[in-house]
Amino acid sequence: MKIQRITLAIAIAFTTFFVGCGATQGEKIAGTPSPVVEQVKSMLKTASEDGKPLGSGGMISMEYLAELEKTDSAKAKALQADFDALMSASNPEDVKAKAAALLKKL
């Protein structure tokens, strides 16, 4: 009798473990990711206000240039030099000025 109860308890435990509590599908939220150009504009606006170097945010600008290269290679090449100058700037005033100028070109 005791062995039957232990076996039943183990069977219930395994069943509960494997079946779970009736998993349901999570609710999917439809979202539209911000286009790269909007991210770049936001990043440049912030840099033009606070003067902090872009740092890893520069990778977003490279994505933008790669995307732009597909549609308007002349504009992408023209902006590349400006992005490079901005990435190398470390003086807050230079960062502000270069970011503001680049923002106007976008």
Q: Is the pLDDT of residue 93 over 60?
A: yes
Helix ranges (DSSP H) in the chain: 2-19, 36-50, 58-71, 73-88, 92-105
Let me know if residue 53 belongs to a domain. yes
Under the banding of pLDDT at 50, 70 and 90, the label for residue 97 is very high
Which one, of 60, 58, 65, lies nearest residue 79 by Cα? Answer: 65
Let me know if residue 10 belongs to a domain. no
Q: What is the DSSP letter of 1?
A: -
Let me know if residue 31 belongs to a domain. no
Is the pTM higher than 0.85? The answer reads: no
* Residues 48/100, Cβ–Cβ less than 8 Å: yes
At 20 the pLDDT is 61
Q: Report the domain count for the chain.
A: 1
Amino acid at 26: G
Range of the domain at 78: 36-105
pLDDT digits (tens, 9 = 90+) for 21-55: 555 566 666 656 557 778 888 888 988 899 888 77
Let me know if residue 74 belongs to a domain. yes
Let me know if residue 80 belongs to a domain. yes
Q: What is the DSSP letter of 106?
A: -
Let me know if residue 86 belongs to a domain. yes
- Per the listing, tokens 């945010």 go with 57
- Token pair for 7: 């076996």
Let me know if residue 5 belongs to a domain. no
Quote the percentage of the chain above a pLDDT of 70. Answer: 78
Let me know if residue 8 belongs to a domain. no
